[in-house]
A and B are shown apart, each in its own frame.
Chain A
Amino acid sequence: MIPLSAYTAVSAVLFMTGLLGVLVRRNFIIVLMSVEIMMNAANINLVAFSHYLESMAGQLVALFIIAIAAGEAAVGLAIIIVVFRSKISTNVDEMNLLKW
């Protein structure tokens, strides 16, 4: 029997990895991928608690998180394409002009 704290530990390591990726990387696409890693960590946590505390609500929230991740990826990649078209770069430290 795997203890619940093992799942939460895996989820914590994944979440910290994603957070580091958001803070450390320069490429905007990889920053978005790190956000996906963080969402997956949250999903592991939700499903693990849903299994061990015998309630279905955690899996439902995980489903909604997956749907929201899909929307976030679509809008984020559209923003990247717009910025890339005008600046020919996807580095986050070169996007410092908040106007068109």
Chain B
Amino acid sequence: MAGIFFTYFALVSMAAGVLTVTLRHPVHCALSLLALLMHVSGLFILLNAEFLWAVQVIVYVGAILVLYLFVLMLMNLKTDERYFHSSALYILGPAVLGAGYVLYLLLRSPFDGAKGDTPATAVLQDGDTYAVGIKMFSDHLLQFEIVGIFLLGAIIGAIVLAKTPKALDAERERL
């Protein structure tokens, strides 16, 4: 059963990723990015990470993607005839070759290592939110605060950048 769901989520997320890169109209790209994000959140469910599933749906789909769609519709872009960069053909071949080699390496490696302290049974017993919360507010508190400061800086930076620069324009007209 999990195998069927994994195959579905994996195939649809990869197809949506390719569509995001190749579609012509930017709004269509944003909508296929929506499909990608939802299916990646489905993969998180399969990995017993239901808190990350909720965060993915709320923050990525609900906030970031809506921000993208707002900006797209605010600018009312014309779709160009030539929507790939001029050097696209030189990049495509080496990228596909490199991806094939990386896939070959990944699929034949066993990936084993030292186990941590949170087995799947403990996560299933208390819930993923509990496990993440205990870990975050005991061992990773400093990183949590740093991310908070980072978000504050990002908000201030976005406001400063997007403000209309009236004073600068007046000064430029005088010169």
Interface residues, chain A, with chain B CB atoms under 8 Å away: 1-2, 4-10, 12-14, 16-21, 23-27, 29-30, 32-34, 36-37, 40, 43-44, 47-57, 59-60, 62-64, 66-75, 77-82, 84, 90-93, 100
B67 near A14 with CB under 8 A, answer no
Q: Majority SS of interface residues in chain A? A: helix
Selected contact of B48 from candidates A43, A51, A80, A82, CB within 8 Å? A51
Residues of A contacting B131 in the complex (Cβ-Cβ under 8 angstroms): 56
B86 near A17 with CB under 8 A, answer no
B118 near A56 with CB under 8 A, answer yes
Interface residues, chain B, with chain A CB atoms under 8 Å away: 2-3, 6, 10, 13-14, 17-18, 20-21, 26, 29-30, 33, 36-37, 40, 43-44, 46-49, 51-52, 55-56, 59-60, 63-64, 67-68, 71-72, 74-75, 77, 80, 82-86, 88, 91-92, 95, 98-99, 102-103, 106-111, 113-120, 128, 131-132, 135-136, 139-140, 143, 147, 150-151, 153-155, 157-159, 161-162, 168
